[in-house]
Amino acid sequence: MSLDLFFQYLFAGITYGAIYAVVAIGFNIIYNATGIINFAQGEFVMLGGMISISLLPFMPLWCAIAAATALTMLIGAAIEMLFIRWLQSPSVLRLIIITIGISILLRESALHIWGESIRSLPYFYGNEITTFSVGSVHISPQVVWVIAASGVMMGGLSLFFKSTPIGREMRACAANRTAALLCGINARNMVTLSFMLSAGIGALAGCVMSPITYTQYDSGTSLAIKGFTVAILGGLGNSMAAVAAGILLGIIEAFSVSVVPLAFQDAISIAILLIILFVKPHGLFGSSEAARLKDF
Amino acid sequence: MKSGIRRWALGCAAGCLVLASALSTATAGTVKVGAIFAVTGPASFLGGPEARSAEMVVEKINKAGGINGDTVELIVKDSAGSSEKAVSFAKQLIEEEKVVAIIGPSTSGESLAVKKVAEDGQTTLISCAAAEVIVDPVARYVFKTPQKDSFAAQMIFEEMQRLKINTIAIAAGNDGFGKAGKEQLEKMAPSFGIKVAASETYDSKATDLSALVAKLKADAFIQAVVNWSVVPAQAIIAKNMRQVGWQAPLFQSHGFGNIKYAQAAGAAAEGIIFPCGRLLVADALEAAHPQKALLTQYKNDYEAKYKEDASAFGGYAFDAMNMVAAAIKQAGNDRAKVRDAVEGLQKFAGVGGVFSFTPQDHNGLAIDSFAMMTVKDGKFILYQGR
C-alpha cells in the first residue's frame, strides 16, 4: 500500500471514528447519571440535524445550529420529565424499554413532520467538492469541522465535569446516588440535566455531520448502533475512552475495506468488538473493579 | 316576514339539493381498488409519493363523476416495506374488501411475496417495483409499471462503448434493488466487452464511502464507476469521488431519478450520467412526443397539490392507477375481465413510457422508455454526450 493511500484510509477512518465517538459520549453521559443506556441517543442526533435544517432559511448558519441544539436540549429535558422522572426506583430493564419506545416515538414524529426525503445543511466552508490537499491526500473541510467539534465537546465536557459545581454534583450522583442525596444534591435534577446535556451534544454532532452523512428521519438508528458499540468497546461511562475506541473502530473499518469487500465491513468491526469483549469484558479502557459496582 | 319566507324557501331548496346528491351517490355503485405502499419505513421515499399519486388520480376520477358512474374507492394499506405485512394486506384486500384490482407494492421483495397471493386470489396486481423477476416468469395476474433493470444496464453499457470505457467498478446498495442491479450488470458486462474490475456492496444506511472510493481509485485500470442503489449513498459516493479529486465518469441507475439526491450531492452531482424515464425532463421534450402532455400535467398537478417535486416513483403508481381505471372503464367491476382489459392495453401513454402489454410481456415497455440524462447546474437535463 502506498503512503498516500495509507493516509487516505486513515483520514476516512478518523472521520467515521469522530462521528461514532460523539454519539458514544452522549450514551456515556446518561449512563453515568442513571446507569441506563438511552437508546434514543441517535434520535437526538437526527433531531439536531433536522431542526437546524428547518431553521436555516430564517437565520444564519451558526444561529440555526445554536437554536437547534437548544431546542433539542429542551426536548431531552421534556422527555426525561414526562417519561422517566416520575418513576419510583424503576428497574434498568424497564428504563431501557422506555428509551426504545421514546426512540420510536421521535422517529415516527420526525417522519410526520419532515417526511421521508433526505436533507442536509450546506458545507460550513466551501462546497461538496472543496478539499484541502496535504501532499496528495485530500481532506474535506467538513471532516476537519467534525473532528474539531468533537474535540471541543470533549474538552468542554471534561472541564464541566471536573471544575464546575454542577459537574461535580453530577459525578457525585453517578458515583453514589444515595450518598449524593444525603449531601443535599437533587439527584432527579441531575438526571434531567444529563438528558439535556447528551441531547445537546447529540444535536450539535448531528448539525456538524449533516453535510457529510445527510439527515433523514431514520438516520439516528444506525448511528446509535455504532455509537453503542463504541461506548461498550471503550468501557461504558468513560468518555475519553469512547473517543479512543471510536477512532480505533473507524480506522479498523476504513482499513478493512482495503483487504476484504466492503460488504464485510460491519462484520469485521463486530467480530473485533466480540474478541475484545471476550478478552477484556469491561471494554478496552474499563476497569473490572469499577464495573463490579454498577448494576449494568 | 317576506324575507323569512324567502329564507325558508331557500333552505328547502338547499335541503333538496343535498338530499338529491346524497341519493345519487347512494344509488350509484362503488368500485374498490386496493393499494399496498410502503408509506412509512425505510422505503417510504417510494411509498410516500406513490400513495399520494394514486390518491390524486382517484380524486380526479371521482370529481369527474367516477368511472361509468361508479365512484372509485381507493383503499391504501401501509406495508412499511415489510413483505409479511404486504402479504396479509393483499389477502385482506382480496378476500374481505373484495377489491377489483391491487396496485403496488412499492418494493421488489414485497412484490415477489405478493405475486402468488394475487395469482391464487385471481386478482390483478400492478406492481410499482423495479425487479424484472416480478414479471419474468410471467404470472397471469401480475403486471408492473417501472422500466426493466436490464434496459437501464444496457443503456449504460452502450454509452460506455461510445466513450471507449472497457474496465469499470460496480458499487451497489445491499437492498433488493441494489442486489438485482448488480447481478444484472455483472451478467451483461461481458457481452459489451466490458470488464468488471471491482464489484462492491455497501450498507444501504452507509454515511461515508471515502474508504471504498480510495480503494477503487487506487486501481489505475478502472475508467468509470457504476453505482446502483436508491439510498442517499448515491449522493455520498458522488461527493467522496470528487473530494479525492477523481474525475472518472460516474454512472447511476434509474434510482437516481429524484432531484433531492442531485441537490444533496450539490457540485459533486455535476456530470453524473444515468438512464431514467422522461418525467424529469418533461419541460424539455418536443411538443409532439406522445408523453409530453401527460408528463407536464402529472408534474404540475402533483407539485401544485403536494408542494414537493414529482419523482419517477410517484409516476409508477400514477400509471398503475390509470391502467386499472382504464380497465374498469372497459370491463366493469369484474376481476377476470379487468385482468384481460389490462393485458389488452396498447400504446397506453404513461409517466414511465408508452405501454403495450402482451400475454408474454407484462411490463409492456420498450428500451426507449428510458432516456440518458445528466446533471447540469443542479438540474436534470437530457444527456448529449460528453
The burial class, CB within 10 Å (0-12 / 13-18 / 19+), for B327 is: buried
**Which pLDDT belongs to residue A289?**
62
Which amino acid type is present at position A201?
I
Q: Is the link from the previous residue into B105 a cis peptide, with omega within 30 of 0?
A: yes
User: How many structural domains are present in chain A?
Assistant: 1
DSSP states of A43-91 as a string? HHHHHHHHHHHHHGGGS-HHHHHHHHHHHHHHHHHHHIIIIITT-SS--
Asked if A282 and A235 touch (Cβ cutoff 8 Å), the reply is yes
Q: How far is A131 from chain B (nearest CA, A)?
A: 6
Q: Mark yes or no for CB contact B210/A11 under 8 Å.
A: yes
**Which pLDDT belongs to residue B16?**
46
Instruction: Report the percent of chain A where pLDDT is more than 90.
Output: 33
Q: How confident is the model at residue B21 (pLDDT cuts 50, 70, 90)?
A: very low
CATH of residue A157's domain is 1.10.3470
Dihedral of CA A121/A245/B174/B171: which sign? positive
**Which pLDDT belongs to residue B177?**
82
Average pLDDT over residues B224-249: 92
Average pLDDT over residues A66-73: 97
Of A183-187, B341-345, B359-363, which range is least confident?
A183-187
Cβ contacts of B105 within 8 Å, gap of 6 or more: B36, B37, B38, B79, B86, B111, B114, B127, B128, B129
Residues 12-31 of A with CB under 8 A from B: 12-13, 15-16, 19
Q: Which of B138, B230, B240 is nearest to B182 (CA)?
A: B230
Closest-approach residue (CA) in chain A for B311: A117
Q: How confident is the model at residue B206 (pLDDT cuts 50, 70, 90)?
A: confident
Is the pLDDT score of A272 beyond 90? no
Average pLDDT over residues B55-83: 94
Asked if B284 and B381 touch (Cβ cutoff 8 Å), the reply is yes
| Mean pLDDT of chain B, nearest integer | 89
Q: How far is A157 from chain B (nearest CA, A)?
A: 26
SS3 A124: coil
Average pLDDT over residues B352-371: 93
Is the pLDDT score of B156 beyond 50? yes
Tell whether A263 is within 8 A of chain B (Cβ). yes
Of A32-36, A253-257, A261-265, which range is least confident?
A32-36
Q: Mark yes or no for CB contact A263/B212 under 8 Å.
A: no
Which among B201, B236, B264 has CB closest to A262?
B201
Average pLDDT over residues A256-264: 87
Phi/psi class of residue B307: alpha, beta or left (left: φ > 0; alpha: ψ in -120 to 50)? left
Higher pLDDT pick, A289 / B286: B286
Grid coordinates representing B13 are: 331548496
Which amino acid type is present at position A151?
G
**Which pLDDT belongs to residue A287?**
66
**Which pLDDT belongs to residue A265?**
84
CA angle B346, B352, B356 (to 5 degrees): 15
**Which pLDDT belongs to residue A130?**
85
Q: What are phi and psi of B76, to 5 degrees?
A: -95, 125
Is the pLDDT score of B42 beyond 80? no
Domain that holds residue A280: 3-292
Q: Which of B131, B130, B200 is nearest to B172 (CA)?
A: B200
Q: Mark yes or no for CB contact A118/B268 under 8 Å.
A: no
- Say what the pTM is: 0.81
Which among B203, B245, B260 has CB closest to A118?
B260
Q: Mark yes or no for CB contact A128/B232 under 8 Å.
A: no
The ipTM value here is 0.83
Asked if A116 and B44 touch (Cβ cutoff 8 Å), the reply is yes
CA distances from B313 to B34, B290, B305 (A): 18, 20, 16
Asked if B183 and B175 touch (Cβ cutoff 8 Å), the reply is no
Asked if A121 and A53 touch (Cβ cutoff 8 Å), the reply is yes
pLDDT, tens only, A97-113: 999 999 999 999 998 89
Average pLDDT over residues A116-126: 87
CA angle B297, B352, B161 (to 5 degrees): 130
Dihedral of CA B274/B275/B280/B285: which sign? positive
Grid coordinates representing B196 are: 468488471
Is the pLDDT score of B17 beyond 50? no
pLDDT, tens only, A137-160: 888 899 899 889 988 988 898 899
Q: Mark yes or no for CB contact B265/A15 under 8 Å.
A: no
**Which pLDDT belongs to residue B257?**
84
**3-state DSSP percent of chain B in helix, strand and coil, to 5:** 50, 20, 30
Q: Mark yes or no for CB contact B243/A129 under 8 Å.
A: yes
Q: How confident is the model at residue A69 (pLDDT cuts 50, 70, 90)?
A: very high
Separation of alpha carbons A23 and A20, rounded Å: 5
Tell whether B228 is within 8 A of chain A (Cβ). no
Separation of alpha carbons A47 and B279, rounded Å: 33
Q: How far is B42 from chain A (nearest CA, A)?
A: 8
Contacts of B40 in chain A (CB under 8 A): 108, 111, 116
Q: What are phi and psi of A137, to 5 degrees?
A: -95, 130
Is the pLDDT score of A291 beyond 80? no
Q: How confident is the model at residue B174 (pLDDT cuts 50, 70, 90)?
A: confident
Asked if B273 and B327 touch (Cβ cutoff 8 Å), the reply is no
Q: Mark yes or no for CB contact A129/B215 under 8 Å.
A: no
Residues 282-341 of B with CB under 8 A from A: 308
Asked if A28 and A231 touch (Cβ cutoff 8 Å), the reply is yes
Asked if B386 and B375 touch (Cβ cutoff 8 Å), the reply is no
Contacts of A7 in chain B (CB under 8 A): none
The burial class, CB within 10 Å (0-12 / 13-18 / 19+), for A243 is: buried
Tell whether A141 is within 8 A of chain B (Cβ). no
Q: Which of A47, A34, A78 is nearest to A206 (CA)?
A: A47
**Which pLDDT belongs to residue B18?**
47
Q: Is the link from the previous residue into A281 a cis peptide, with omega within 30 of 0?
A: no
Q: How far is A251 from chain B (nearest CA, A)?
A: 10
What letter does residue B68 receive in the DSSP assignment? T
Is the pLDDT score of A258 beyond 50? yes
Instruction: Report the percent of chain B where pLDDT is more than 90.
Output: 69
Q: What are phi and psi of A51, to 5 degrees?
A: -65, -40
Asked if A38 and A99 touch (Cβ cutoff 8 Å), the reply is yes
Phi/psi class of residue B332: alpha, beta or left (left: φ > 0; alpha: ψ in -120 to 50)? left
Q: How confident is the model at residue B24 (pLDDT cuts 50, 70, 90)?
A: very low
Q: How confident is the model at residue B246 (pLDDT cuts 50, 70, 90)?
A: very high
Domains annotated for chain B, with CATH where assigned, are 29-147+291-355 (3.40.50.2300), 149-276+371-382 (3.40.50.2300)
Strands (E) across chain B are located at 30-37, 71-78, 101-103, 124-127, 142-144, 167-173, 195-202, 224-228, 250-252, 273-276, 348-349, 354-355, 371-376, 379-382
Element (H, E) at B94: helix B83-95
Residue with cell 459496582: A293
Count interface pairs A-B at CB distance under 8 A.
110
Q: How confident is the model at residue A292 (pLDDT cuts 50, 70, 90)?
A: low
Separation of alpha carbons B254 and B227, rounded Å: 10
Cβ contacts of B187 within 8 Å, gap of 6 or more: none
Phi/psi class of residue A154: alpha, beta or left (left: φ > 0; alpha: ψ in -120 to 50)? alpha
Is the pLDDT score of B226 beyond 80? yes
pLDDT, tens only, A4-38: 889 889 988 988 898 899 889 899 888 887 777 88
Treating both helix axes as pointing N-terminal to C-terminal, what angle do A219-234 and A92-114 enclose, rounded to 10 degrees?
Answer: 150
Which among A12, A111, A128 has CB closest to B210?
A12
Average pLDDT over residues A152-171: 89
Q: Mark yes or no for CB contact A262/B42 under 8 Å.
A: no
Q: Which of A206, A186, A183 is nearest to A194 (CA)?
A: A186
Higher pLDDT pick, B136 / B224: B224
Grid coordinates representing A37 are: 443506556
